[in-house]
Amino acid sequence: MKILEHLGENFSEALFGWAGNGQDHGPTPLDYPGVERIPTHRKNGVRLSLVRMLTRPIPAFSLCPRPGKNHLLPRCRKNPRLGGDIAAAARRYGGDIARRSPLPQQLSPLVATSSAALAHLEARASDNIGPELDLPAAAAAALACDPHPTVVSYTAFISGAAQHARPLPALSAFAGMLRLGLRPNDFTFPSAFKAAASAPPRSTIGPQIHSLAIRFGYLPVDPFVSCAALDMYFKTGRLKLAGHLFGEMPNRNVVAWNAVMTNAVLDGRPLETIEAYFGLREAGGLPNVVSVCAFFNACAGAMYLSLGEQFHGFVVKCGFEMDVSVLNSMVDFYGKCRCAGKARAVFDGMGVRNSVSWCSMLAAYAQNGAEEEAFAAYLGARRAGEEPTDFMVSSALTTCAGLLGLDLGRALHAVAVRSCIDANIFVASSLVDMYGKCGCVEDAEQIFYETPQRNLVTWNAMIGGYAHIGDAQNALLVFDDMIRSGETAPNYITLVNVITSCSRGGLTKEGYGLFETMRERFGIEPRTEHYACVVDLLGRAGMEEHAYEVIQGMPMRPSISVWGALLGACKMHGKTELGRIAAEKLFELDPQDSGNHVLLSNMFASAGRWAEATDIRKEMKNVGIKKDPGCSWVTWKNVVHVFRAKDTKHEMYNEIQALLSKLTKQMQAAGYMPDTQYSLYDLEEEEKESEVFQHSEKLALAFGLICIPPGVPIRIMKNLRICVDCHRAFKFISGIVGREIIVRDNNRFHHFKQYQCSCGDYW
């Protein structure tokens, strides 16, 4: 019992204290049906629990004519369900089994059989097998009723439990074998370290297992055990202890270097991964597939395109280019470095593709804004026979959010439900984000509140959904819930979404107060994005001078978005001189952007300064700057119908014009007056009124009213900001025809219903 004396009270308290902290880490070997606890007592300072197994004959064994070792185990390995049934019987009638020879000798290998079959059966998730067959319970029962357990049987159970994310049963079994005086071997310790890697950050279980490994002479000389301990320290955030252990290792093989590289890149330390790779090479070590993948991931994280391209050549030279894992890492690397074309070239050259290959290509397109190509990659994966995974579906959902393809998004939602991955936190977060960006906040809310676990992305997606429609009140409520829940701390994106929602919802005081206290409350330094939101917040409220003061006090150079927000506010409130200052700054930063020139011209036009507005238009023509044509589009029956101002080429042109003429008369009878302040000054008023009714969004609306049946909302996309007259007209039309109209311009959503807009005319 020397081992027991060495552990003393500490290991038991660390293990069982963790078990009693309210977290569900899965059952221990003594927590299964058919295993009755006898009251706990202590011996040699360690808590002990005895097991009493119920006794009864087992009819199932009558099926085996001679239930010998050579007869039973091969059948169990080939048929996991048979093994589970036998183990279940062992769990229920273990006392009788223990007295019948030679079955006790078969129980130890059965532990390994049950554990090995777990992954396959859990992946199948079969309704008719899953509830009946509890393989972890079977393995635990087999171990518990073995009268003479060995190191092999305990190691098999610890390994199986650790591999299937059952750390507490694994560590409990490890403590149990120590109590029996069994000596862990070089296979036991790596499994124990793997289980300890899932322990809470402040737990002392990992270091205590480390001390045991030193006592038995495995650390730091055994490379297999050392690498497992090293990985455990990295995963529990003990970087100093990991570095100390790595420095003590006399023989650092490629596995040890890989542990350093992979954990560094997973922790967001790509430069350390690159340094570790070169350390491996300087030590004379040869990289393997894991090393190569880690290096590509590090180059992707650090955006080192040139270094990654050079490494690509090295990989080809060394013959790694045929490995599918390496090729997947290349696709991911090029995608994250904004080279979707090169990612596609690598993908097309792959002889063998797996699910990760398709997901990497899909993500590469999505990260580079190629939504249509990304969705095509998803369809290609499905045609190739790949089953939808959580990563595949979540990546495809981001493409629907970018395209605002609500129908496609709903179809993917159905795929997620059918594949039983809709509750996955990544899929759920993508669904919330997709519905929020498509303007379906009610659907986003339903998924958000039904999700059992939420991470930072989930919270940000819900707050962002409210920001898109300008619902500041609900955005602030969800933000407060996030803070109170303690599930996660806000990041800079969270605050951008909250301040944006306050800007669009008119809550100037709340938004500006959050901006001023974000450093003290959350430890987040304001970025350019936050300043742009605050300038927009103040500008919409008519506080342009204050917004200009905020810009002058910025610790960094104001960006295009900051000056653009100020110019938009000046145009909205007629502050032409301050608007000219903002426009000049924008011309310096991006002289070829036509939108800034047009915005300045419209600002002068709205103030009646037609000469200056004309001068800006002439200057644009002289330097070759062309205004981006405004267009709007509606999707109907999987066809996108695009309209431009004064469009006469559409096949339904006559029907559209007839309906617009009818709607004009009805609106004028209801009190509508066209807003022509931005029309060309050299036109007669009647011509101006006729011109505003040929805007692209009005043409798209007329088409939608003709084709889309009643009861279905009409969804219109516009690449520019909706004009004042169209906004006013859409409110009238929504009440006249009794239809819900949803417009997504380049700024936000507008929900028109019964003569009202969701923005409250604050846009």
How does pLDDT run across 637-670, given as a tens digit for each residue?
Answer: 878 899 998 888 889 999 999 999 999 999 999 9
- The answer to whether residue 11 scores a pLDDT higher than 50 is no
Rounded Cα distance, 363 and 374, in Å:
7
Share of the chain above pLDDT 90, in %: 57
Q: Does an H or E element contain 751, and which? A: strand 749-753
Rounded Cα distance, 51 and 32, in Å:
11
Rounded Cα distance, 676 and 614, in Å:
17
Torsional sign, CA 220, 224, 228, 231: positive
- 3-class secondary-structure state, position 251: coil
DSSP state of 466: H
Position 689 scores a pLDDT of 54
pLDDT bracket for residue 605 (50, 70, 90): confident
Rounded Cα distance, 361 and 331, in Å:
6
DSSP letters spanning 273-294: HHHHHHHHHHTT----HHHHHH
Contact 29, 173 (CB under 8 A): yes
Contact 120, 139 (CB under 8 A): no
Q: Where do we find the tokens 């995608």?
A: 335
Q: What is the pTM of this model?
A: 0.73
Q: Are strands 714-718 and 631-636 parallel, antiparallel or unpaired?
A: antiparallel
Q: Where are the alpha helices (DSSP H) in 47-93?
A: 69-78, 80-92
> Residue 573 has which token pair?
């409130």
| pLDDT tens digits, 280-316 | 999 999 999 999 999 999 999 999 999 999 999 999 9
| pLDDT tens digits, 453-467 | 899 999 999 999 999
Could you tell me which residue, 128 or 518, shows the higher pLDDT? 518
Position 487 scores a pLDDT of 83
Average pLDDT of the residues of the chain: 81
Q: Pick from 135, 147, 78: which is nearest to 106 by CA?
A: 147
Q: Peptide bond before 27: cis, by omega within 30 degrees of 0?
A: no
- Neighbouring CB atoms inside 10 A of 376's CB total 15
Contacts of 672 (CB under 8 A, 6+ apart): 728, 729, 732
- Neighbouring CB atoms inside 10 A of 621's CB total 11
Contacts of 684 (CB under 8 A, 6+ apart): none
- Read off the pLDDT of each residue in 562-566 and give the average, rounded to a whole number: 93
| pLDDT tens digits, 499-525 | 999 999 999 999 999 999 999 999 999
